[in-house]
């Protein structure tokens, strides 16, 4: 408006500048220009002060160590640093908005999404929305909590979607000013970045704890399996050695003493290497003994030799009984 007035005055008749009373008219114009400059300087100072307050608020918000602490600090900053009388933060759920208590009393309020036209538009358009009593009436639930029909609702965006809402209002009941909307936009943009980072940190920490628990559970199960294996090994060690055949048994009568030693370990399930190590002979010597044993007892392979051995043991036990 001031610029238009100046243009009209400059474009006016020259008599205004040089006719009778021109000095007085010029003095009025100079006073007007000085007032305009002072107003702009005052406005610039106010904007600079808001920028400084926003910078200090961001610095304080970054010290938060949890989502709850971040929410509470955001509400405090909007009240104390920017002069809003009413401040709320709500988390967006599937069918409702859950209003966090900024004072930490643990109380929460739930506002159905179906009853919140301004909030629905804010979520859909992902931008700050002002309420007007006639054009866009406030949500009843938020109107009752905030105590005003005029408020701003701004989105908090994380991973490309609105995860929370910020509501601000003033006690005078007047509609929000453009300066308020600009400041809220800047503040919630920063708040969105900090909240997304905090949610990611908590998600990573939750995954780390889950992995640690899974690892601990796996270690516990491994310990149990190891204990069971030790128990089985003890049982195996404590188990009776395969029954020895009598010296006059037809199955071993033709075997030499060394062949008999090899045969006893063979039927016990020992490998050629294990037999060689135990009897302190080479593996090739064991193989030679095994071939001779199989030929002497009439077995084709180890499995048949073991079957013949078990059959002979059964006969010996029956005869003994």
Tokens encoding 259: 């062949």
Q: What is the pLDDT of residues 47-99, one digit of tens each?
A: 666 667 777 877 888 888 888 888 888 888 888 888 888 899 999 988 889 88
User: Looking at per-residue confidence, does 105 or 225 come out higher?
Assistant: 225
Distance CA 36, CA 1 (A): 11
Q: Which residue has the higher pLDDT, 130 or 31?
A: 130
CA 305 to chain CA centroid, Å, is 63
Round to whole Å and give the CA distance between 66 and 287. 72
For residues 152 and 63, the model is more confident at 152
Q: Comparing C-alpha atoms, which of 113, 268, 93, 226 is closest to residue 164? A: 93
User: Helix, strand, or coil here: 36?
Assistant: helix
Predicted pLDDT at 243? 56
Distant-in-sequence, close-in-space partners of 100: CB < 8 Å, separation ≥ 6: 68, 71, 88, 89, 90, 91, 108
SS3 of 157, please? Answer: strand
Domain 257-320, CATH: 1.10.10.10
Residue-level pLDDT at 32: 67
- Distance between alpha carbon 33 and the CA centroid of its chain, in Å? 58
Q: Which pTM does this prediction carry? A: 0.52
In the chain, what is the greatest distance between 2 CA atoms, to the nearest angstrom?
155
CATH code for 66-201?
3.30.450.40
CB 175 within 8 A of CB 150: yes
Strands 86-92, 152-158: pairing kind: unpaired
Q: What count of residues does the chain have?
A: 321
Question: What's the pLDDT at 234?
Answer: 46
% of the chain at pLDDT higher than 90 = 14
Residue 111's H or E segment, with its range, is strand 109-112
Whether residue 120 has pLDDT greater than 90: yes
Q: Convert the pLDDT of each residue in 271-318 to its tens digit.
A: 999 999 999 999 899 998 898 888 888 888 888 888 888 877 767 666
Name every residue whose Cβ is closer than 8 Å to that of residue 151 and which is 6 or more positions away in sequence: 86, 130, 131, 138, 142, 167, 168, 169, 176
Distance separating alpha carbons of residues 34 and 37, to the nearest angstrom: 5
Task: Quick: pLDDT tens for 221-252.
Answer: 676 666 555 444 444 444 445 556 666 677 77
Q: What residue has token string 């020992």? A: 270
pLDDT single digits (tens) 23-44: 666 666 666 666 766 666 555 5
* pLDDT at residue 157 in the model: 92
Show me where the domains of the chain are located.
1-61, 66-201, 257-320
Strand residue runs (E) in 77-178: 86-92, 96-100, 109-112, 129-130, 152-158, 161-169
Query: Which residues lie across from 136 on neighbouring strands?
Result: 132
Q: Tell me how far apart the alpha carbons of residues 121 and 29 are, in angstroms, rounded to a whole number.
A: 47
- Which residue, 197, 198, 127, is CA-closest to 166? 127
298, 300, 302, 305: CA torsion to nearest 10: -30
- Cβ(194)–Cβ(70) below 8 Å: yes
Secondary structure percentages of the chain, helix, strand, coil, to 5: 60, 10, 25
């Amino acid at each position: 408006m001031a610029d238009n007035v100046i243009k009209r005055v400059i474009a006016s008749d020259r008599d205004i500048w040089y006719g009778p009373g021109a000095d007085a008219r010029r003095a009025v114009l100079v006073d007007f220009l000085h007032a305009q400059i002072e107003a702009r300087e005052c406005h610039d100072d106010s904007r600079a002060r808001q920028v400084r307050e926003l910078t200090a608020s961001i610095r304080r918000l970054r010290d938060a160590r949890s989502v709850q602490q971040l929410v509470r600090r955001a509400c405090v900053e909007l009240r104390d640093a920017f002069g809003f009388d009413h401040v709320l933060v709500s988390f967006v759920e599937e069918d409702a908005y859950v209003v966090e208590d900024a004072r930490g009393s643990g109380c929460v309020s739930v506002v159905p999404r179906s009853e919140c036209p301004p909030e629905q538009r804010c979520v859909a358009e992902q931008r700050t929305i002002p309420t007007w009593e006639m054009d866009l009436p406030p949500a009843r639930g938020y109107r009752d909590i905030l105590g005003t029909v005029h408020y701003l609702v701004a989105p908090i965006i994380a991973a490309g979607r609105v995860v929370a809402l910020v509501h601000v209002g003033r006690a005078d009941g007047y509609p929000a000013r453009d300066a308020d909307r600009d400041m809220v936009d800047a503040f919630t943009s920063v708040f969105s970045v900090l909240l997304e980072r905090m949610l990611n940190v908590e998600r990573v920490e939750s995954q780390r704890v889950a992995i640690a628990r899974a690892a601990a559970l796996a270690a516990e199960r491994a310990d149990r399996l190891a204990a069971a294996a030790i128990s089985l090994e003890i049982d195996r060690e404590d188990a009776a050695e395969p029954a020895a055949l009598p010296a006059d048994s037809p199955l071993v009568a033709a075997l030499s003493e060394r062949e008999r030693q090899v045969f006893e370990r063979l039927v016990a399930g020992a490998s050629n290497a294990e037999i060689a190590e135990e009897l302190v002979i080479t593996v090739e010597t064991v193989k030679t003994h095994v071939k001779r044993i199989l030929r002497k007892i009439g077995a084709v392979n180890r499995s048949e030799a073991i079957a013949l051995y078990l059959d002979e043991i059964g006969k010996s036990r029956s005869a003994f009984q």
